[in-house]
């Protein structure tokens, strides 16, 4: 089985986007506020939105199930208030749940959190509980920078996050560290803001005692870990200078990387420096890079080809990357896959 641990609902039916436009317009003119009841999306609209998109790629590329979450750039936690973010997150998560109910063999849900800059994580805790206990979601996307590119909140290792982490551990779900859109013109969203955030989160974890406080807490750092694998020696050296234990002991029971790296040399490097036990297959389709690589004739995000092409991986290594590690990091998928 091949589990893709990172897919987004980037083909949402048009009424969802229309609702969001109205919700944002209502921040200036409350008379325009759309009611939730006005948002109507049929099962057929949902089927149409994924059957010739994410599901087509699953078939063509030979992957089985995608751990599926709302469009990451659409989370936009910096917009509006905590109430705006709560309503939007609940609607997006409910829609993911409907996709998973319609296609239980193809999709497993991961939720967006109703984070809002400068506010407590209480709403996020409640929404995580709702999604996991009532809708069978297996994880969440946690935004380390809900400001959208200004990084003026506390680092992921600050105690302000601890109540949320406690609940994650109790529910036995990991978080993918995932920023949203950038409203800082210095940082292109998918080309810079995402990769910066992945690298930043790793260094925050490295410099902290977070995993002494939460030995069972698990994070997936997407997009191949940002700049981390390429600079593995730097991070090993920094940990050593800080009198920390080796990376393996310090954080590799807690931090995992996905394979959303869109060329073979990147995946080759990753599998050389990051332990195989810490790499999870993912494509982030349909997402950041949609085109076809003229050098290979295949989609950049057809990441299965790269893993299949790494000559030194054993069958056991590939099985870990494709399936075993995802079952370990997202333990709740085991029950869902057994009943699908």
Q: Which residues bind Zn ion (CB under 5 A)?
A: 72, 284
> DSSP readout, 154-212?
--TTSGGGHHHHHHHHHHT--EEE------STTS-IIIIIHHHHHHHHHHHHHTS-HHH
Burial (Cβ within 10 Å: 0-12, 13-18, ≥19) of residue 243:
exposed
Compute the least distance from the CB of residue 1 to Zn ion, in Å. 21
Burial (Cβ within 10 Å: 0-12, 13-18, ≥19) of residue 295:
exposed
- Residue 145 or residue 284: which is nearer to Zn ion going by CB? 284
- Residue 72 or residue 189: which is nearer to Zn ion going by CB? 72
- Residue 178 or residue 211: which is nearer to Zn ion going by CB? 178
Find residue 69's DSSP bridge partners: 8
Compute the least distance from the CB of residue 318 to Zn ion, in Å. 23
| Strand-strand pairing, 140-142 and 111-112 | parallel
Compute the least distance from the CB of residue 69 to Zn ion, in Å. 8
260: number of Cβ within 10 Å: 28
What b/e string do you get for 79-111 counting C-beta neighbours within 10 Å, with b at 16 or more? bbebebbbbbbbbbbbbbbebbeebeebbbbbb
- Residue 87 or residue 258: which is nearer to Zn ion going by CB? 258
Compute the least distance from the CB of residue 196 to Zn ion, in Å. 14
Distance CA 93, CA 126 (A): 13
Q: Which of 113, 209, 83, 205 is nearest to 156 (CA)?
A: 205
Compute the least distance from the CB of residue 222 to Zn ion, in Å. 6
- Indicate if 268 belongs to the active site: no
The catalytically annotated residue of 284, 295, 316, 323 is 284
Compute the least distance from the CB of residue 317 to Zn ion, in Å. 24
- Residue 141 or residue 254: which is nearer to Zn ion going by CB? 141
Distance CA 111, CA 128 (A): 7
CB contact at 8 A, 8 and 222: no
Distance CA 234, CA 240 (A): 10
- Residue 39 or residue 301: which is nearer to Zn ion going by CB? 301
Give the position of tokens 């057929």: 44
Contacts of residue 268, defined as CB under 8 A and 6 or more positions apart, other chains included, come to: 306, 310
Give the residue numbers marked as catalytic. 284
């Amino acid at each position: 089985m091949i589990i893709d641990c990172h897919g987004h609902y980037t083909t949402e039916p048009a009424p969802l986007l229309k609702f969001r436009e109205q919700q944002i317009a209502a921040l200036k003119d409350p008379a325009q506020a759309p009611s939730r009841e006005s948002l109507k999306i049929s099962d057929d609209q949902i089927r149409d939105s994924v059957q010739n998109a994410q599901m087509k790629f699953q078939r063509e590329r030979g992957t089985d199930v995608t751990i599926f979450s709302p469009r990451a750039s659409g989370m936009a936690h910096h917009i509006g208030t905590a109430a705006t973010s709560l309503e939007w997150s609940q609607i997006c998560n409910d829609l993911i749940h409907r996709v998973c109910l319609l296609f239980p063999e193809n999709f497993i849900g991961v939720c967006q959190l109703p984070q809002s800059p400068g506010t407590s994580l209480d709403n996020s805790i409640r929404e995580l509980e709702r999604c996991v206990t009532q809708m069978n979601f297996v994880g969440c996307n946690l935004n380390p920078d809900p400001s959208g590119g200004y990084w003026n909140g506390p680092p992921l290792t600050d105690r302000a996050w601890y109540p949320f982490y406690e609940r994650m551990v109790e529910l036995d779900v990991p978080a993918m560290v995932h920023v949203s859109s950038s409203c800082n013109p210095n940082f292109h969203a998918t080309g810079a803001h995402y990769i910066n955030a992945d690298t930043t989160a790793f260094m925050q974890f490295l410099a902290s005692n977070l995993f002494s406080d939460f030995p069972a807490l698990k994070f997936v750092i997407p997009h191949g870990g940002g700049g981390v694998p390429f600079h593995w020696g730097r991070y090993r050296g920094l940990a050593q200078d800080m009198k920390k234990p080796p990376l393996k002991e310090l954080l590799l029971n807690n931090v995992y990387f996905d394979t959303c790296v869109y060329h073979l040399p990147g995946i080759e490097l990753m599998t050389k420096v990051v332990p195989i036990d810490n790499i999870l297959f993912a494509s982030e389709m349909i997402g950041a890079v949609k085109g076809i690589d003229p050098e290979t004739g295949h989609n950049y995000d057809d990441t299965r080809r790269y893993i299949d092409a790494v000559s030194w991986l054993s069958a056991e290594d590939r099985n870990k990357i494709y399936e075993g590690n995802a079952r370990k990091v997202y333990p709740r998928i085991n029950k869902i896959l057994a009943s699908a």
